[in-house]
Amino acid sequence: MTKAEKDKAYIWHPFDVMQLENHIFIKKATGVYLHTNDDRKIIDAISSWWVNIHGHRNIHITKAVSKQLRYLEHVIFAGFTHDPAIKLAESLVKILPGNMSKIFFSDDGSTAVEVAIKMALQFWHNKGEKRSQIIALEGAYHGDTFGAMAVGARGGFNEPFERHLFDAQFIDIATGDLNALYSSFESLCKSAATAAFIYEPLIQGSVGMRMYDAETLEKLLKIAKSNQVICIADEVFTGFGRTGKYFASEYCETKPEIICLSKALTGGYLPLGVTAATERIFQAFNNLEISKIFLHGHSYTANPLACAAANESIRLFLSAECQKNIARIAHTFENWKLELSTSPNILNLRSLGAIFAFEVVNTQTKGYFNPIREKIYRLFLEKNILIRPLGNTIYVLPPYIMSGKELNYILKSIKEVLVDI
| Residues 175 and 290 placed together within one structural domain of the fold | yes
| Residues 289 and 166 placed together within one structural domain of the fold | yes
| Residues 290 and 339 placed together within one structural domain of the fold | no
In the chain the first and final C-alpha atoms are separated, in Å, by 36
In a domain, 64, yes or no: no
In a domain, 66, yes or no: no
In a domain, 125, yes or no: yes
| Residue 36 to residue 59: CA distance in whole angstroms | 21
Predicted local confidence at residue 344, as pLDDT: 87
| Residues 19 and 132 placed together within one structural domain of the fold | no
CB count in 10 Å sphere of residue 386: 18
Predicted local confidence at residue 265, as pLDDT: 98
In a domain, 388, yes or no: yes
| Residues 326 and 311 placed together within one structural domain of the fold | no
| Residues 269 and 324 placed together within one structural domain of the fold | no
| Residues 15 and 79 placed together within one structural domain of the fold | no
The residue among 264, 287, 318 that closes a domain is 318
Query: Mind listing the pLDDT tens digit for each residue in 230-280?
Result: 999 999 999 999 999 999 999 999 999 999 999 999 999 999 999 999 999
| Residues 301 and 353 placed together within one structural domain of the fold | no
| Residue 119 to residue 232: CA distance in whole angstroms | 10
Segments forming the whole domain that contains residue 276:
72-318
The residue among 285, 300, 318 that closes a domain is 318
H or E element that contains 211: strand 210-211
Predicted local confidence at residue 184, as pLDDT: 96
| Residue 276 to residue 260: CA distance in whole angstroms | 6
Are residues 282 and 101 in contact, defined by beta-carbon separation less than 8 angstroms?
A: yes
Q: What is the CATH number of the domain that holds 385?
A: 3.90.1150.10
3-class DSSP assignment, residue 213: coil
In a domain, 354, yes or no: yes
Predicted local confidence at residue 363, as pLDDT: 63
| Residue 150 to residue 128: CA distance in whole angstroms | 24
In a domain, 63, yes or no: no
Residue numbers in the chain where pLDDT is lower than 70 = 20, 363, 365
| Residues 281 and 349 placed together within one structural domain of the fold | no
| Residues 179 and 210 placed together within one structural domain of the fold | yes
Q: How many domains does the chain have?
A: 2
Predicted local confidence at residue 367, as pLDDT: 75
In a domain, 331, yes or no: yes
| Residues 296 and 388 placed together within one structural domain of the fold | no
Predicted local confidence at residue 157, as pLDDT: 82
| Residues 296 and 340 placed together within one structural domain of the fold | no
| Residue 241 to residue 52: CA distance in whole angstroms | 12
